[in-house]
Amino acid sequence: MSQERLTMRKIREVLRLKWERGLTNRAIARSCSISHSTVGEYLRRAKEAGLNWPIPTDLDEDALFRLLFPAPSRSNSRVIPCPDWSLIHTELGKKSVTLRLLWVEYREAHPDGYGYSQFCELYRRWAKRLKPSMRLSHKGGEKVFVDYAGQTVPVVDPDTGEVCQAQIFVGVLGASNYTYAEAHWRQDLPGWTGAHVHMFAFFGGVPEIVVPDNLKAGVKHPCRYEPDLNPTYQDLAQHYGTAVVPARVRKPKDKAKAEVGVQVVERWILARLRNRTFFSLADLNQAIRELLDELNVRLMKHLGRSRRELFETLDQPVLKPLPELPYEFAIWKKARVNIDYHIEFEKHYYSVPHTLIRKEVYVRATERTIEIFFKNRRVASHRRTNVRGRHTTTLEHMPPSHQKYQEWSPDRFTRWAQTIGPHTAQLVQTLLASRKHPQQAYRSCLGILRLAKRYTEERLEAACRRALPAGIHSYKGIKNILDAKLDQVEPEEPATVVPTVHENIRGQTYYR
């Protein structure tokens, strides 16, 4: 079932990139880590199902799966013989031989075979795989190439004198060579996504495609044919309405613009800063920005125009507008809903609808919020907290009646405790009041009250009397007192200490 959910997420992304972004099948295949023939198959099925973009919100993943992959009909099925395309291709090389002639000969041998238009289409698909070529002419607003420079810049801590090497992020637009650069501490996911946010703001818009290298911050599993994007990086792409198409492994020509852009930044910016000492990242970025502006207005000899001039002519008019709010960094994590309808994130527990017990969900954690998704739908949202071992529970997520404790209530626990003794009742009331929702304390209360069967009510009352002044309000704490038989030991009265004052020692009133 998990694999099916993953497939449906990729299908939705394929349809978005095709119908909203207008990408080619091969670009979509590289972005979604699938083969281009699979992309074509998904698009064909969506067209046959009458789908369009955006997909209706009331169409969940199960319904979409049944719509795109209906149960095969066993009736009226026939096998269409497939031509030998290699032979067709060889015959076409002969003088005066055409596809129509070869189709006529094919139909003579197979009267129930493909029609002429389908025959030609299948041949063209096969022929495209013979010698695939890639033209590196870029349209305005189409691509931005991003990478890290190999050279770093030392930054000195003014307090300790420690030297840290700042990493230099570089982004270059394909059509105009308009360049962006900034420094941050590490090549990690927060720095990588943050640099993209700043780059899009610098451009004042968003290109159609982002072409990164296969670094770990952006690509989770590098592969020459099917790289797998980091979920956070993919989330950023969806927020800005762009597509991420990583360069192929060990194919530097795929990101030649980035390679040249890095070289230009190293020569015209970093080399000019080699004799300067920086004591903060902000000072370094300020210096980079000043030299970056000079770089973008400098004339390029081979074109006779500056990067900024080309940017204003080619890229800027066709860039997508920025979203209302910049992307907020988020961490994605898988989680499984526990039997108490809570998931755990960094030792804190957040509730989800009780119908999702034991289901696998995705957690999206930002600096301020925790969002929980099931089958690509958000089912819960909470304010993030760093308090460990506690619960954040929404009332709507609770079942109408708990299967195991539906007959219990705070009043019933209190009445039961009062039959044992006032100290037991006080401890149970304190335990119930310590939780935001009393149901979260039912298990502990039940365990404490059941200790009366094992140790007698008198001993339990004595243990609670001893535990209350010590601030012990848990099942384990009461059980430890009973096991150690501390309830049978009378608490010692604190000794009265009479201070001894020497006659030669001045009192506190002496200095008044």
> What are all long-range contacts of 420-424, with beta carbons under 8 Å and residues at least 24 apart?
420/449, 420/452, 420/457, 420/460, 420/461, 421/457, 421/460, 421/461, 421/464, 421/465, 423/461, 423/464, 423/465, 423/468, 424/448, 424/449, 424/460, 424/461, 424/464
The two three-digit tokens of residue 328, written as one number: 């907020």
- 481 in the same domain as 369: no
- 250 in the same domain as 184: yes
- 123 in the same domain as 9: no
Which of the listed residues 35, 68, 101 is the one where a domain comes to its end? 68
In a domain, 405, yes or no: no
Q: How far is CA 258 from CA 148, 174, 500, in A?
A: 9, 9, 82
CATH code of residue 309: 3.30.420.10
- 256 in the same domain as 184: yes
Domain count, the chain: 5
In a domain, 75, yes or no: no
In a domain, 463, yes or no: yes
Contact 185, 165 (CB under 8 A): no
The two three-digit tokens of residue 465, written as one number: 């009397």
- 312 in the same domain as 366: no
397 DSSP 8-state letter: G
In a domain, 238, yes or no: yes
Which of the listed residues 363, 397, 431 is the one where a domain comes to its end? 397
Count of C-beta atoms within a 10 Å radius of residue 321: 9
In a domain, 163, yes or no: yes
Q: How far is CA 207 from CA 142, 175, 182, 321, 372, in A?
A: 5, 11, 19, 9, 30
- 149 in the same domain as 272: yes
Which of the listed residues 318, 344, 371 is the one where a domain comes to its end? 318
- What pLDDT, on the 0 to 100 scale, is given for residue 153? 92
Closest listed residue to residue 416, CA positions, set 398, 431, 396:
431
Half-sphere exposure of 39 (CA within 13 A, CB side): 22
Percent of the chain beyond pLDDT 90?
23
In a domain, 350, yes or no: yes
CA distance 83 to 79: 13
> What are all long-range contacts of 87-94, with beta carbons under 8 Å and residues at least 24 apart?
88/123, 89/123, 89/126, 89/127, 89/130
The burial class, CB within 10 Å (0-12 / 13-18 / 19+), for 77 is: exposed
The two three-digit tokens of residue 403, written as one number: 């299967």
The two three-digit tokens of residue 199, written as one number: 């780059």
- What pLDDT, on the 0 to 100 scale, is given for residue 249? 60
Query: Against a cut of 0.85, is the pTM above it?
Result: no
CA distance 409 to 416: 11
- 48 in the same domain as 89: no
Strand-strand pairing, 342-345 and 348-351: antiparallel
CA distance 98 to 120: 11
- Residues (pLDDT < 50) of the chain are 1, 93, 95, 131-136, 218, 220-227, 403-404, 406, 494-502, 504-508, 510-512
State the residue for tokens 């059980």.
479
**Main-chain phi, psi angles of 87, to 5 degrees:** -70, -40
- 290 in the same domain as 180: yes
Dihedral angle sign, alpha carbons of residues 422, 427, 431, 433: positive
In a domain, 369, yes or no: yes
Contact 296, 209 (CB under 8 A): no
E strands in 35-162? 143-148, 153-156
- 474 in the same domain as 417: yes
- 272 in the same domain as 147: yes
Closest listed residue to residue 166, CA positions, set 330, 282, 296:
282
In a domain, 135, yes or no: no
Count of C-beta atoms within a 10 Å radius of residue 97: 14
For residue 113, the enclosing domain spans 85-128
The two three-digit tokens of residue 400, written as one number: 């109408």
- 280 in the same domain as 153: yes
- What pLDDT, on the 0 to 100 scale, is given for residue 420? 92
Instruction: List pLDDT tens digits, range 140-182.
Output: 788 899 999 989 999 998 888 899 999 999 999 988 889 999 9
Instruction: List pLDDT tens digits, range 317-373.
Output: 889 999 998 888 888 888 998 877 888 888 889 999 988 888 999 898 877 888 899
- 303 in the same domain as 350: no
